Structure 1
Amino acid sequence: MTGSASRRPAGARGFVPALEGIRGLAAVGVLTTHVAFVTRSSSGSPLKRVFGRLDLAVAVFFAKSGFLLWRTHASHARRDEPGTARPTREYLRSRLVRIMPAYVVLVAAAMLLLKQNHVNGPTSWLVNLTLTQIYTSEFLVAGLTHAWSLAVEMAYYLAFPVLWTAMKGLRGNAAGWRIPVIAAFGASGLVFPMLPWHGLGILPPYVNEQILPPAFTAWFAAGMLLAEVATAPPGTLVRLCRDRLARWGWWVVGGAALVATTVPAWFSEGFIHPGPVEFAARTGLAGAMAFMVLAPVVLAPEGTRFPVLESVPLQKVGAWSYGIFLWHQLILLASFPLTHTPLWARRMSVIWPVTVAGSLAAGAASHRFLEEPARRALERR
């Protein structure tokens, strides 16, 4: 691209429209895996195994959060400015305003509308409302099982101020050390699930270490590393994203990382609790996939267009993606009686389009009537 070598990366500052499109695709990917599971279509053939692993799109969500939340602090350090870039109180308030209003409504809807949840007592309500369910035995609640990832994300929202405060001295000439420090932080998540936490008596038997926040440092670190690269003087990685054909190479490699997690000789099929080494390998490949998916967008020259990702439909889906993610499990459960389909019937071709259509509608309604009004009301205070 003419003149691209002199332009800063697109992700160095401001809104990146193509990221919104990627977020929309990731939301549909997670939805697809959940539909595949309840229609027994997540294993048995190469395509079904891909359906069964599209939930690894959660890594893209986490990496995107890591990128956007870390970028300001990476830029702050590169400019050799003291302290931290953003007040912690203001930052935490913005995260709570973004996540909690619609989520609280979802919890109430799942608890009240689903008969199987009527047996849940105050403790179940409390831990699910506070996104602490992954640390308890109250995790498997109908319509809310996917909220484990929100609980992990909230934990990282709380941890980020600690991380950027700890690294505030790595600025100016020392800013180059930030990348190896973040890489080490990410690698720690691959070690965490292989340690015998239950055998040592550190974790109670009902806590699944594979959904605890430390198991996902690699996914957040992927985005944090991209934030550091995007705000640093352009180097090799940025140059590798300048050419359009090279950018497709990144996506092909990212897709290959995802496909690798579906190979039966290497990884279990479907929703089977993997062993520690298998889980670490899957998590590492998903983190690499997220990095490869996001890098061509955030490291491309500023002004680069991505027509499909920036198209009106995908921009809408991206804007609605949080609501799509929140409500798709309830929509999925409702799609079976709506289509006169028995639960677990092998009818993904029927259940998937109904769930997608319903989730898009729910996501649009959530965005318009819950998320945006709550944000405007709470931010004025």
Structure 2
Amino acid sequence: MSASAAGAGFVSSLQGMRAVAAIGVLTTHVAFQTGMVGTPVLGPVLGRLDLAVAVFFALSGFLLWRPHAEVAHGTPGTRAPGLLRYARHRVIRIWPAYLVVVVVALLLLPDARGDSSTVWLANLTLTQIYVPLTLTAGLTQMWSLAVEVSFYLVLPFAAVAMRRLHGPRARWRTPLVLVVGLLAFAWAPISEMFPLTPGVSAMGWLPGHLPWFVAGVLLAEVVAARDSGRRPTLLVRFGARRGPMAVVAVAAYAAACTPLAGPTGLGAVSAAAFVGKIALGAVLAFALLAPLVLATTRHRLLDSAAMQALGRWSYGIFIWHLVMLSAVFSLFGIVPFDGSMPLVWVLTALLSTGIAAASYGLVEEPARLWLSKREAHRRTDARTSITPETSAARQPTKQTATSAGN
């Protein structure tokens, strides 16, 4: 979101990978707004760093699906979170810091000031990908967060649908996940045949990006199957090897820098190019994450203190960096699209990291701690509510159940 990769707990290298993805998103936006994406060779490489979003989506797929996979495969001591607890944690994780950014951007950025109530409502509720022309200055990257929230909503239903595939039947979960991922590639051609109102593209909704989440869900299933004691498959043995996975990742990224994945700017994207980008992004995300969750050795760079800190602040970097980029142009008198990427990148990265650290310390962490304390109080209240009288009242029921079981 350290435990070793083999454990069911926190995988610290994934925290470092969050930092890499956040820096990638920041870099590609700086490259675009300084005009660097138009340069030969380097331009497409910088412009295609938007595939960092694929890594974010795969991380969500892995981390949120893993408890369900572990329960299905019979990993000892695991249980899936309840629906209400899951919903509370998702809301607290996303909205408090996000709402601050939205209000600041819509009130202070010159290009966003005066936006309609529709823009406000769509951005505050993360529904801007469904409402025409509501992506606004400083917040255009939030389309991916809207897609992620859609995944949050769908995941519990998917878990219920696969609940019967447990124990010996759990071996069918991985093939089913793969089939769902492959079927999702049909979404782009279908949505292209049935266009919606101008300003809204169904191609970019959750079904279109589902293979990126599936890359993480697939890893969760593979890890759970391995941890349950099953014999490691070829996918596990190959995925744990950093060298081969690095080759796959580089090859996928290089292919994505070609017309196979469509333009790196704001040009129209055909369904074929969209499918190409999604497919290559899924391969890239899987190749980057697989060694981190399947290998048993630590990753020296991603596990470093600096990357762990950036990983904790990565959400703040993601949601704040376009506001900071706008501030850099205004405060330092830099003209957009003039090629001054190194200076703009350094200033934007420093400002974004600083405000992200503040967001983590002042908003994100306090909100998380508040929720943790509230849940702890709820558990304490539940335990103390079992008085001697109620405990005695429950005892015959327990005995009856035991007798019936025998």
Cα contact 1:80–1:171 (8 A) shared by 2: no
SS class of match (1:272): coil
Look up the match of 1:226. 219
Q: What amino acid does structure 2 have at the position aligned with 1:192?
A: W
Look up the match of 1:278. 273
1:53 is aligned to 2:51? no
Look up the match of 1:151. 146
Q: Using the alignment, how far apart are the partners of 1:373 and 1:34 within structure 2?
A: 30
Look up the match of 1:3. none
Look up the match of 2:332. 339
Give aligned-pair identity as a percent: 44
Q: What amino acid does structure 2 have at the position aligned with 1:215?
A: G
Q: What amino acid does structure 2 have at the position aligned with 1:177?
A: W
Q: Using the alignment, how far apart are the partners of 1:86 and 1:366 within structure 2?
A: 27
| Structure-2 change in CA distance of 1:95 and 1:46 (3 Å) | same
Cα contact 1:80–1:172 (8 A) shared by 2: no
Q: Using the alignment, how far apart are the partners of 1:11 and 1:153 within structure 2?
A: 26
1:14 is aligned to 2:12? no
Mapping for residues 1-381 of structure 1, pairs under 5 Å? 10=5, 12-79=7-74, 85-195=80-190, 197=191, 199-200=193-194, 203-232=196-225, 233=230, 234-242=232-240, 246-264=241-259, 267-301=262-296, 304-381=297-374
SS class of match (1:324): helix
Of the two, which has the highest radius of gyration? 2
Q: CA deviation at 1:264?
A: 4.2
Q: Using the alignment, how far apart are the partners of 2:113 and 2:26 within structure 1?
A: 25
Q: Using the alignment, how far apart are the partners of 1:12 and 1:65 within structure 2?
A: 18
Q: What amino acid does structure 2 have at the position aligned with 1:315?
A: Q
Q: CA deviation at 1:80?
A: 8.5
Cα contact 1:9–1:299 (8 A) shared by 2: no
Q: What amino acid does structure 2 have at the position aligned with 1:97?
A: I
Bigger relative contact order, structure 1 or 2 (CA pairs below 8 A, ≥6 apart): 1
Consecutive unaligned residues of structure 1, counting only runs of 5 or more, are: 1-7
Consecutive unaligned residues of structure 2, counting only runs of 5 or more, are: 375-406
The superposition leaves residues 164-193 of structure 1 with CA deviations (integer Å, 9 ceiling, x where unpaired) of 000000011110111111111212322101
Pairwise CA RMSD of aligned residues?
2.0
Q: Using the alignment, how far apart are the partners of 1:273 and 1:67 within structure 2?
A: 31
How many corresponding residue pairs? 366
Q: CA deviation at 1:145?
A: 0.4
Q: What amino acid does structure 1 have at the position aligned with 2:323?
A: L
| Structure-2 change in CA distance of 1:265 and 1:187 (3 Å) | closer
Q: Using the alignment, how far apart are the partners of 1:281 and 1:206 within structure 2?
A: 23
Cα contact 1:9–1:238 (8 A) shared by 2: no
Q: CA deviation at 1:227?
A: 0.4
Q: CA deviation at 1:241?
A: 4.4
The superposition leaves residues 189-214 of structure 1 with CA deviations (integer Å, 9 ceiling, x where unpaired) of 2210111x36446x333311232111
| Structure-2 change in CA distance of 1:70 and 1:28 (3 Å) | same
Query: Which one is further off, 253-262 or 150-159?
Result: 253-262
Q: CA deviation at 1:11?
A: 5.0
Q: Using the alignment, how far apart are the partners of 1:132 and 1:322 within structure 2?
A: 19
Look up the match of 1:4. none
Q: What amino acid does structure 2 have at the position aligned with 1:357?
A: L
Q: Using the alignment, how far apart are the partners of 2:163 and 2:128 within structure 1?
A: 32
Query: Which one is further off, 256-265 or 278-287?
Result: 256-265
| Structure-2 change in CA distance of 1:204 and 1:264 (3 Å) | closer
